[in-house]
Structure 1
Amino acid sequence: MEAVIKKFPEKSDDVRPERPSREEAEQAVETLLRWVGEDLSREGLKETPKRVVKAYEELFSGYHLDPNDVLGRVFEEVAGYDDVVLVKDIKFYSHCEHHMVPVIGRAHVAYLPDGKVLGLSKIARLVDMFGRRLQTQEAMTAQIADALDQALKPRGVAVILDAEHLCMSMRGIRSHGSSTMTTTYRGVFADDTERQDRILRLVGAGN
């Protein structure tokens, strides 16, 4: 038996300014290229503004997706299964909202069903959707957990992100190879350290 996920409530305060045209976006790239000292007449740069804008359409496509559409249907045929569902090592790429520099990492998402489950690929798509936005890792961790919790209404949700921020590797302190881990727990995982420890062991955190 299948059930349709309820739509997220509309946010009345979610008002965004009018979106610039493609031509304006390309002109913005040209301005940045001139600012760094480049010669826009160089052969290798003649199509760069168009290429950058086209790449941004893909890299930030998460703004145009809704968690309900990404998650799709839930399934109530679980054959008595009553334990954690964990999808680990979901590779994701994002960009930090402070410097617009890449963030590369892995997500581990677990939930304890309450009679309903999702197709496993949907969880990876949810991670990818939130990754394709300007992000802080802390916010992205919470967004994944909240979307899954609201859509599926499980007994508990656990989300762990482990990522390298190139704004630390390429600039500033230039700390190569360091990673940042964030965790968030909902429902039965929130105050149960034994359940939290079990999830951490399953994903191999700290190994």
Structure 2
Amino acid sequence: MDAFAKKLSQESARPTREEAEEAVRVLLRWAGDDPSREGLLDTPKRVVKAYSELFAGYDADIDDVLGTTFEEVAGYDDIVLVRDIPFFSHCEHHMLPVIGKAHIAYLPSGRVLGLSKIARIVEVFARRLQTQEAMTAQIADAINQGLSPRGVAVFVEAEHMCMAMRGVQKSGSTTLTTTFTGSFKDSAAEQARFMSMVRGR
């Protein structure tokens, strides 16, 4: 379990399922509806079950997710890129959905990750209350810590429902964030090559 999740589990006892369901009933009443009406009777249970899936990243151990790395790379030492990894997250300010894609690359230093592991790293951090900026940095840091590559590049593009559904109500606007470490951070040419590969040119 990463440091953030460990600190969270140490500092706050998780409410029971019954307490969580009662909290949903309170919100339903606050919204102006009647949680005892037929259509809402099972809503608290459904919401709590959905939250256990949507926020499963808090219970994930990033070391387990990274798992085994491989040395059999036949001398390959150039960019490894997995692009267009879809994700769903929730903003920590309004708890509204964030829908986007992540593009992740690294320059191996003798070892590589299984490709599915990269998508799973995105999933762990996406399934927490997030800011896009923090999530971008967390993905890069996890790969750095687990693999010690020569460099990591992460590019995340997402639409935030807190902008589309409320406030300024600007649907279709996209937020872009990047993090570069190691050789990617030190070389504008490597950054440009990464972005060109992401865009498929």
* Category of TM-score, reference length = shorter chain: over 0.9
Which residue type is aligned with residue 66 of structure 2?
A: L
1:46-94 deviations in whole A, cap 9, x for unaligned? 0000000000000000000011101100000000111000000000000
**Change beyond 3 A, Cα 1:64–1:10:** closer
2:47 to 32, 49, 52: 52
SS class of match (1:190): helix
**1:182 equivalent in alignment to 2:163:** no
Alpha-carbon distance between aligned partners in 1 of 2:178 and 2:40, rounded to the nearest angstrom: 42
The 5 Å alignment of 1:4-23 reads: 15-23=10-18
The one-character-per-residue Cα deviations of 1:83-140 (angstroms, maximum 9, x if unpaired) are: 0000000000000000000000000000000000010000000001100000000000
Q: Which moved more, 1:97-106 or 1:14-23?
A: 14-23
Whether the 8 Å contact between 2:103 and 2:154 is mirrored in structure 1 is yes
CA distance in 2, matches of 1:154, 1:141: 17
Specify the code of the residue in structure 2 equivalent to 1:179: T
CA distance in 1, matches of 2:2, 2:49: 29
1:175 corresponds to which letter in structure 2?
Answer: K
Output the aligned Cα RMSD: 1.8
Rounded to whole Å, the distance in 2 between the matches of 1:144 and 1:194 is 22
TM-score w.r.t. the length of structure 2 is 0.95
Aligned to 1:144: 139
Partner of 1:105: 100
AA of the residue aligned to 1:98: H
Identity of aligned residues (%): 63
Return the alpha-carbon distance in structure 1 between the equivalents of residues 58 and 124 of structure 2: 8
1:130 is aligned to 2:125: yes
Give the number of equivalent residue pairs.
200
Q: Measure the CA separation in 2 of the matches of 1:104 and 1:201.
A: 23
Superposed CA deviations along residues 127-186 of structure 1, whole A, max 9, x for unmatched, are 011000000000000000000001000000000000000000000000110000000001
Residues in 1 aligned to 2:60 and 2:151: alpha-carbon distance in whole angstroms: 25
How much has 1:42 moved relative to structure 2? 1.6
Indicate conservation of the 8 Å contact 2:5/2:58, yes or no. Answer: no
Are 1:120 and 2:115 an aligned pair?
Answer: yes
TM-score (norm 1): 0.92
> Which residue of the other structure, out of 169, 180, 197, is the alignment partner of 2:192?
197
